[in-house]
């Protein structure tokens, strides 16, 4: 595919995915996320040609003008759309498939100082919401969605939706995923909740049988009723100014 055909394809993909885009000229002039992808393609060629310093310098120029930090070593697929652009970071060994959408503040980063593949692989058709962090050598499967503000630390199956810190699956293949085991949430408080639940069950066992469910707000209702009776009693002996 020629350079101009690739540019035309990128612009058309923005028009298809962003309802705010009104014309090709507007996309060309007002979408820094698109500029960042185009500049990265040049810096990536330099990187593969072992011209590492010029590649890094060009990526820093792109970062200055677009607020998108894409390492020249990252592999980006076709029709990548970085909407709003601000604060997006894509690490050196990250792999991004085709038709992927990233919103502002997304980080495709690592979890340590190790060498080798240390950044995520994002497959085709993935949507990643704003300020989400996808960290480590993990894979986000095809057509999956990552909720805004999520922190993804493990693989995401295809056709799934994940949310939370750390992220857990809530939809898969269009079906709601119900969590019955707190360990599935992978939250640091899961162990504490499990221990508390076990303690409650133990105490209920000592008391014998199922506890009687108390009427909700029973104490508050009793206080209100007592207050009404007191007002009724006072009304019989206190003049409220009638006839003045």
List, as one string, the DSSP characters of 208-231: -SPPPPPPTTHHHHHHHHHHHHHH
Both 194 and 170 in one domain: the answer is no
Q: Which domain holds residue 227?
A: 190-235
Q: Which DSSP category does 174 fall into?
A: T
Both 142 and 200 in one domain: the answer is no
SS (H, E, C) 55-91: HHHHHHHHHHHHCEEECCCCEECCCCEECCCCCEEEC
| 244 residues of the chain, pLDDT tens digit each | 677 888 899 999 999 998 998 999 999 999 999 999 999 999 999 999 999 999 999 999 999 999 999 999 999 999 999 998 899 999 999 999 999 999 999 999 988 777 889 999 999 999 999 999 999 999 999 999 999 999 999 999 999 999 988 888 888 888 887 766 666 666 666 677 777 877 888 888 888 755 555 565 677 778 888 878 877 776 665 555 544 4
Both 86 and 207 in one domain: the answer is no
Q: Is the pTM of this model over 0.85?
A: no
Which residues are CB-neighbours of 62 under 8 A, at least 6 positions away? Answer: 35, 36, 39, 40, 43, 68, 70
Both 49 and 123 in one domain: the answer is yes
Give the gyration radius of the chain's Cα atoms: 29
How many domains does one find in the chain?
2
Both 93 and 204 in one domain: the answer is no
């Amino acid at each position: 595919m020629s350079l101009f055909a690739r540019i035309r394809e990128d612009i058309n993909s923005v028009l298809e995915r962003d309802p705010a885009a009104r014309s090709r000229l507007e996309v060309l002039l007002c979408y820094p996320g698109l500029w960042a992808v185009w500049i990265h393609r040049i810096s990536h060629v330099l990187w593969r040609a072992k011209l590492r310093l010029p590649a890094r310098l060009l990526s820093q120029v792109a970062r200055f003008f677009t607020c998108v930090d894409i390492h020249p070593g990252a592999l980006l697929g076709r029709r990548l759309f970085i909407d709003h652009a601000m604060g997006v970071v894509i690490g050196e060994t990250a792999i991004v498939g085709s038709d992927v959408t990233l919103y502002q503040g997304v980080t495709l980063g690592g979890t340590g100082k190790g060498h080798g593949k240390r950044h995520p692989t994002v497959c085709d058709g993935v949507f990643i919401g704003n300020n989400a962090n996808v960290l480590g050598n993990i894979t986000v499967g095809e057509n999956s969605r990552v909720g805004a503000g999520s922190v993804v630390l493990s693989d995401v199956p295809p056709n799934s939706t994940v949310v939370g810190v750390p992220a857990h699956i809530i939809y898969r293949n269009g079906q709601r995923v119900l969590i019955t085991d707190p360990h599935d949430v992978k939250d640091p408080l899961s162990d504490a909740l499990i221990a508390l639940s076990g303690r409650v069950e133990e105490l209920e066992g000592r008391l014998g049988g199922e506890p009687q469910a108390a009427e909700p707000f029973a104490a508050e209702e009793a206080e209100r009723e007592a207050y009404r009776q007191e007002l009724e009693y006072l009304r019989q002996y206190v003049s409220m100014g009638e006839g003045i």
